[in-house]
Amino acid sequence: MIAWINTAVLVVSVLMTLHFYVKSAGPAALEKRIGAAAYARCTRYRMVASVFMTLGAIDYVVYFFYPLPIPLARAFPWSWWVSALAATLIAIPSGYLFWRGMRDAGEETLLVKKEHTLYGGIYEKIRHPQAVGELPFWWVFAFLLHSPFLVLFSAIWIPVFVLMCWAEERDLLIRYGSAYEEYRRRTGLLIPRRR
Protein backbone atom coordinates (compact mmCIF):
# COMPACT_ATOMS: atom_id res chain seq x y z
CA MET A 1 0.00 0.00 0.00
CA ILE A 2 2.83 2.42 0.88
CA ALA A 3 4.38 1.85 -2.55
CA TRP A 4 1.21 2.88 -4.37
CA ILE A 5 0.62 5.91 -2.13
CA ASN A 6 4.23 7.04 -2.54
CA THR A 7 4.08 6.68 -6.31
CA ALA A 8 0.81 8.63 -6.42
CA VAL A 9 2.39 11.37 -4.29
CA LEU A 10 5.38 11.35 -6.66
CA VAL A 11 3.17 11.88 -9.71
CA VAL A 12 1.22 14.63 -7.93
CA SER A 13 4.53 16.25 -6.89
CA VAL A 14 5.69 16.36 -10.50
CA LEU A 15 2.41 17.90 -11.66
CA MET A 16 2.34 20.44 -8.82
CA THR A 17 5.97 21.39 -9.48
CA LEU A 18 5.02 22.11 -13.08
CA HIS A 19 1.85 23.99 -12.11
CA PHE A 20 3.45 26.29 -9.56
CA TYR A 21 6.64 26.87 -11.53
CA VAL A 22 4.66 27.90 -14.61
CA LYS A 23 2.67 30.28 -12.40
CA SER A 24 5.92 31.66 -10.98
CA ALA A 25 7.29 32.28 -14.47
CA GLY A 26 4.59 34.79 -15.42
CA PRO A 27 5.15 37.95 -13.35
CA ALA A 28 4.97 40.41 -16.25
CA ALA A 29 1.66 39.02 -17.47
CA LEU A 30 0.31 38.89 -13.90
CA GLU A 31 1.48 42.47 -13.26
CA LYS A 32 -0.89 43.66 -15.97
CA ARG A 33 -3.77 42.29 -13.89
CA ILE A 34 -2.74 42.94 -10.27
CA GLY A 35 0.13 45.44 -10.39
CA ALA A 36 3.55 45.30 -8.74
CA ALA A 37 2.43 42.66 -6.20
CA ALA A 38 2.77 40.13 -9.03
CA TYR A 39 6.50 39.71 -8.40
CA ALA A 40 6.11 38.81 -4.72
CA ARG A 41 3.29 36.43 -5.61
CA CYS A 42 5.41 34.75 -8.28
CA THR A 43 8.25 34.37 -5.76
CA ARG A 44 5.80 32.53 -3.46
CA TYR A 45 4.74 30.30 -6.37
CA ARG A 46 8.39 29.50 -7.07
CA MET A 47 8.95 28.57 -3.43
CA VAL A 48 5.92 26.27 -3.51
CA ALA A 49 7.23 24.68 -6.72
CA SER A 50 10.57 24.08 -4.95
CA VAL A 51 8.77 22.40 -2.05
CA PHE A 52 6.98 20.03 -4.44
CA MET A 53 10.22 19.30 -6.28
CA THR A 54 11.89 18.47 -2.96
CA LEU A 55 8.94 16.23 -2.09
CA GLY A 56 9.51 14.46 -5.42
CA ALA A 57 13.15 13.80 -4.47
CA ILE A 58 12.01 12.42 -1.10
CA ASP A 59 9.53 10.19 -2.95
CA TYR A 60 12.44 8.77 -4.97
CA VAL A 61 14.14 7.69 -1.72
CA VAL A 62 10.90 6.24 -0.34
CA TYR A 63 10.46 4.32 -3.61
CA PHE A 64 13.82 2.65 -2.99
CA PHE A 65 12.41 1.12 0.20
CA TYR A 66 8.86 0.59 -1.09
CA PRO A 67 8.99 -0.18 -4.83
CA LEU A 68 5.85 -0.89 -6.80
CA PRO A 69 4.98 -4.59 -7.17
CA ILE A 70 5.45 -4.53 -10.95
CA PRO A 71 7.31 -6.90 -13.28
CA LEU A 72 10.43 -4.75 -13.39
CA ALA A 73 13.63 -5.57 -11.57
CA ARG A 74 14.01 -3.78 -8.26
CA ALA A 75 17.67 -3.09 -9.00
CA PHE A 76 19.96 -3.10 -12.02
CA PRO A 77 21.75 -6.38 -12.78
CA TRP A 78 25.15 -4.75 -12.30
CA SER A 79 26.90 -3.66 -9.12
CA TRP A 80 25.74 -0.49 -7.37
CA TRP A 81 29.18 0.98 -8.05
CA VAL A 82 28.45 0.99 -11.79
CA SER A 83 25.28 2.96 -11.13
CA ALA A 84 27.22 5.30 -8.82
CA LEU A 85 29.75 5.88 -11.60
CA ALA A 86 26.94 6.65 -14.07
CA ALA A 87 25.43 9.07 -11.54
CA THR A 88 28.80 10.79 -11.11
CA LEU A 89 29.34 11.09 -14.87
CA ILE A 90 25.94 12.75 -15.16
CA ALA A 91 26.31 14.92 -12.05
CA ILE A 92 29.63 16.58 -12.86
CA PRO A 93 28.71 18.43 -16.09
CA SER A 94 25.12 18.93 -14.96
CA GLY A 95 26.20 20.31 -11.61
CA TYR A 96 28.58 22.72 -13.30
CA LEU A 97 25.85 24.03 -15.62
CA PHE A 98 23.41 24.39 -12.74
CA TRP A 99 25.98 26.17 -10.56
CA ARG A 100 27.03 28.54 -13.36
CA GLY A 101 23.40 29.32 -14.12
CA MET A 102 22.67 30.03 -10.46
CA ARG A 103 25.80 32.14 -10.08
CA ASP A 104 25.10 34.21 -13.17
CA ALA A 105 21.38 34.61 -12.37
CA GLY A 106 22.05 35.58 -8.76
CA GLU A 107 19.12 35.83 -6.39
CA GLU A 108 16.66 35.76 -9.31
CA THR A 109 17.04 31.98 -9.15
CA LEU A 110 14.41 31.96 -6.39
CA LEU A 111 13.33 35.59 -6.00
CA VAL A 112 11.27 37.04 -8.85
CA LYS A 113 12.09 40.74 -9.13
CA LYS A 114 10.89 43.35 -11.57
CA GLU A 115 14.19 45.21 -11.63
CA HIS A 116 16.30 42.26 -12.75
CA THR A 117 17.90 42.57 -16.17
CA LEU A 118 18.93 40.02 -18.78
CA TYR A 119 21.80 37.93 -17.46
CA GLY A 120 25.33 37.65 -18.78
CA GLY A 121 27.89 34.90 -18.29
CA ILE A 122 26.74 31.46 -19.33
CA TYR A 123 23.40 32.99 -20.37
CA GLU A 124 25.22 34.46 -23.38
CA LYS A 125 25.51 30.91 -24.72
CA ILE A 126 22.34 29.19 -23.50
CA ARG A 127 19.07 30.65 -22.26
CA HIS A 128 18.22 28.02 -19.62
CA PRO A 129 21.44 26.60 -18.13
CA GLN A 130 19.82 25.96 -14.76
CA ALA A 131 17.15 23.79 -16.35
CA VAL A 132 19.71 21.91 -18.46
CA GLY A 133 21.81 21.36 -15.34
CA GLU A 134 18.99 20.48 -12.98
CA LEU A 135 17.02 18.08 -15.18
CA PRO A 136 19.69 15.31 -15.29
CA PHE A 137 19.85 15.22 -11.52
CA TRP A 138 16.69 13.11 -11.54
CA TRP A 139 18.76 10.41 -13.26
CA VAL A 140 21.57 10.99 -10.77
CA PHE A 141 19.14 10.23 -7.92
CA ALA A 142 17.70 7.26 -9.80
CA PHE A 143 21.12 5.72 -10.50
CA LEU A 144 22.31 6.33 -6.94
CA LEU A 145 19.19 4.50 -5.78
CA HIS A 146 20.05 1.76 -8.33
CA SER A 147 16.44 1.70 -9.54
CA PRO A 148 15.41 0.85 -13.12
CA PHE A 149 11.90 2.15 -12.45
CA LEU A 150 13.18 5.53 -11.27
CA VAL A 151 15.53 5.80 -14.25
CA LEU A 152 12.54 5.26 -16.55
CA PHE A 153 10.25 7.47 -14.47
CA SER A 154 12.77 10.32 -14.63
CA ALA A 155 11.87 10.83 -18.29
CA ILE A 156 8.66 12.47 -17.06
CA TRP A 157 10.76 15.47 -16.05
CA ILE A 158 11.81 16.22 -19.66
CA PRO A 159 8.47 17.70 -20.78
CA VAL A 160 8.08 19.33 -17.36
CA PHE A 161 11.34 21.25 -17.73
CA VAL A 162 10.64 22.12 -21.36
CA LEU A 163 7.21 23.51 -20.42
CA MET A 164 8.75 25.50 -17.57
CA CYS A 165 11.30 27.00 -19.97
CA TRP A 166 8.60 27.89 -22.49
CA ALA A 167 6.55 29.58 -19.76
CA GLU A 168 9.57 31.67 -18.79
CA GLU A 169 10.24 32.58 -22.41
CA ARG A 170 6.67 33.77 -22.94
CA ASP A 171 6.87 36.11 -19.96
CA LEU A 172 10.38 37.34 -20.74
CA LEU A 173 9.11 38.44 -24.14
CA ILE A 174 6.49 40.55 -22.36
CA ARG A 175 9.10 41.98 -19.98
CA TYR A 176 11.90 42.74 -22.43
CA GLY A 177 10.24 42.77 -25.87
CA SER A 178 12.61 43.18 -28.82
CA ALA A 179 15.72 42.93 -26.61
CA TYR A 180 14.64 39.42 -25.65
CA GLU A 181 13.77 38.56 -29.26
CA GLU A 182 17.31 39.52 -30.27
CA TYR A 183 18.73 37.51 -27.37
CA ARG A 184 16.71 34.47 -28.49
CA ARG A 185 18.07 34.78 -32.03
CA ARG A 186 21.68 34.59 -30.87
CA THR A 187 21.43 31.97 -28.10
CA GLY A 188 20.11 28.42 -27.89
CA LEU A 189 17.15 27.47 -25.73
CA LEU A 190 18.69 24.37 -24.14
CA ILE A 191 21.94 23.87 -26.09
CA PRO A 192 24.37 26.50 -27.39
CA ARG A 193 23.62 27.73 -30.89
CA ARG A 194 26.33 27.52 -33.51
CA ARG A 195 27.50 30.90 -34.69
pLDDT of 149 reads 97
Q: How far is CA 102 from CA 95, 109, 120, 176, 181, in A?
A: 10, 6, 12, 21, 22
- Does residue 46 have a pLDDT over 70? yes
Contact 60, 10 (CB under 8 A): yes
CA distance 10 to 105: 29
Counting residues of the chain whose pLDDT is more than 90, the rounded percentage is 71
- Does residue 154 have a pLDDT over 90? yes
Domains and CATH numbers, the chain: 2-186 (1.20.120)
**104-122 pLDDT, tens digit each:** 887 766 667 766 666 778 8
Instruction: Show the beta-strand stretches assigned E in the chain.
Output: none
Span of 110-114, 147-151, 180-184 with lowest mean pLDDT: 110-114
pLDDT of 188 reads 83
Contact 94, 133 (CB under 8 A): yes
Q: Please state the rounded mean pLDDT for residues 13-17.
A: 98
| 8-state DSSP, 192 | P
The backbone region for 35, taken as left when phi is positive above 0, alpha when psi lies in -120 to 50, beta otherwise, is: left
91: Cβ contacts below 8 Å, ≥ 6 apart: 136, 137, 140
Q: What is the pTM of this model?
A: 0.89
Span of 63-72, 120-129, 144-153 with lowest mean pLDDT: 120-129
